[in-house]
Chains A and B, each alone.
Chain A
């Protein structure tokens, strides 16, 4: 008798829990849909001037301008493409150099001081990631002038956050035994770093750097929009002179460069890991 009672009780409890869960799920979805509706109302209904867009034919006409390719631009594309690629490479390497000290400060087990420098390292990581590359480029263009240099610096600063975060996490997760062994046989601080820590974090860090390099190619392609050379500058010029076919050519060049980068990074990652 009591056994069936408790069985019925637990069944009741289960249906009660299930109903509660369903209610909560329904509430979440309801809020989600309400919020979406609010956003749609704010952005698409109130803010858009539909008459200016000019209906479907207007959109198609403005889209059609991009389809007539400007093949005469090919010879002008080669140099900026190389520049963009080089900017990404140099920026990534410089970013690696910057992220070494940041990772050292921001890894809890090797940081020189837990209370002062560790938060500083963490803050630098967040700062680098939360400022968009365009904003970094704006700051550097105003600091060092036009040219490839502000682009390189902006890419480097933007890469620091991700590389140093992953590196710091890798340092925190190392196996302490090799470090202790090297210390026990009389290794100094540098030898501990070079032989104990570096081989353990090396594959992770290299894979991260390759990944970041891949992203940096697409970043360096837009640096020219705010005055820092490369394909972005050509894009900006074509757009401002209303040469839409040329714009498409620049985009095709970017696509080609990115596909090349993906292929290279795929093989590099295979070689590293």
Chain B
């Protein structure tokens, strides 16, 4: 009752502002700190600031001048189309292998149902983080140096990428499950594996399917450049034409990549909608 009748102890400020004194000082201070850091970074990195703004205007000019009439005949060449199919196959296999490998890792790295919170939880977390931390192009270079050029290296690199990507999303999904069934199973004496299969999987089945489809979509995007570093697929054509300065062909290849990524995005969006409806 007292709270309702209490009058404000501080007088109302004459001009209203969104942030009062101490808060506004912290806010201003952190903003200033970020700004100073950014300016110092630009100085440290030797960035020519007029060039930075000139580059944006220049970009349009460069694209128009160098890449403009894209050599569309080149991308309808059967040899190029075969590498497009290769890219599709690589992304599909990489996504499948990655999703299957990431399910146990996600189980270990979800804190609420992890079979062993002391040992397996940090191990699973570390596995997922290190797969995610290393960019897919670095994975490609590493696998190419071990397995040689070709699609096997590309598939392996995409698998590592998908383990990181899907593992994080899966473990987030598992950590958000309803704990009721889990507790019930535990109380009835189920072991961690039984808890996972009978209490967690039925709750996350649909979400997992959606994430798996999304993983393929992202893997396809990554697969378009895997070939750039020797992993097979259309990236190889991109690299060859970039190095031969065949800019019109490069423009056509980039356009074809955009078109295919759009198609992949459309397909994955449609499939996810179907899966959600089938729930």
Contact = CB atoms under 8 A, between A and B. Distances in A.
Interface of A: 35-36, 38-40, 42-44, 47-49, 52-53, 59, 62-63, 66, 82-83, 86-87, 89-90, 93, 126-127, 130-132, 134-135, 138-140, 142-144, 147-149, 152-153, 195, 199, 218-219, 221-222, 225, 229, 235, 239, 244, 247, 251, 254-255, 258-259, 262
Given A130-B257, A134-B225, A255 B262 contact: no
Residue from A126, A143, A221, A229 whose CB has the most chain B CB atoms within 10 Å: A143
B22 to A, nearest CB: 15
Contact of B47 (A35, A148, A262): A148
B62 interface: yes
Residue from A44, A83, A130, A247 whose CB has the most chain B CB atoms within 10 Å: A130
B135 A142 contact: no
Interface in B130-186: 130, 132-135, 137-138, 141-142, 145-148, 150-152, 154-155
B277 to A, nearest CB: 13
B58 A255 contact: no
B134 A255 contact: yes
A42 B55 contact: no
B228 A134 contact: yes
Interface residues of B, number: 60
A251 B138 contact: yes
A83 B135 contact: no
Contacts of A82: 44
B90 interface: yes
B18 to A, nearest CB: 7
Contact of B59 (A44, A143, A221, A244): A143
Contacts of B133: 218, 254-255, 258-259
A68 to B, nearest CB: 15
A212 to B, nearest CB: 14
A251 B130 CA distance: 10
A44 B151 contact: yes
A93 B134 contact: no
A153 B54 CA distance: 12
Contacts of B248: none
Contacts of A35: 92
B152 A140 contact: no
B12 interface: no
A219 B138 CA distance: 11
Contacts of A247: 142
A42 B85 contact: yes
Contacts of A89: 37-38, 41
10 contacts: A42-B85, A44-B152, A48-B150, A49-B150, A89-B37, A126-B265, A139-B254, A239-B141, A254-B134, A258-B129
Given A63-B146, A148-B47, 6 more contacts: A47-B152, A59-B146, A62-B145, A132-B225, A149-B52, A259-B133
A144 B222 CA distance: 25
Contacts of B258: 127, 130-131
Contact of B89 (A39, A59, A222): A39
Given A47-B152, A49-B150, A53-B147, A90 B45 contact: yes
A43 B135 contact: no
Contacts of B257: 130-132, 135
Contacts of A43: 86, 89-90, 93, 151-152, 154-155, 232
Nearest to B88: A39
B39 to A, nearest CB: 10
A149 B151 contact: no
Interface in B221-268: 221-222, 224-225, 228-229, 232, 238, 242, 250, 254, 257-258, 261-262, 265
Given A86-B44, A149-B52, A39 B242 contact: no
B254 to A, nearest CB: 6
User: Ordered nearest first, which 4 A-B pairs have the shortest CB separation?
Assistant: A130-B261, A86-B41, A258-B133, A148-B45
Nearest to B261: A130
Contacts of B242: 138
A135 B62 CA distance: 15
Given A134-B137, A222-B138, A149 B254 contact: no
Nearest to A87: B45
B42 interface: yes
Contacts of A53: 147-148
B137 A222 contact: yes
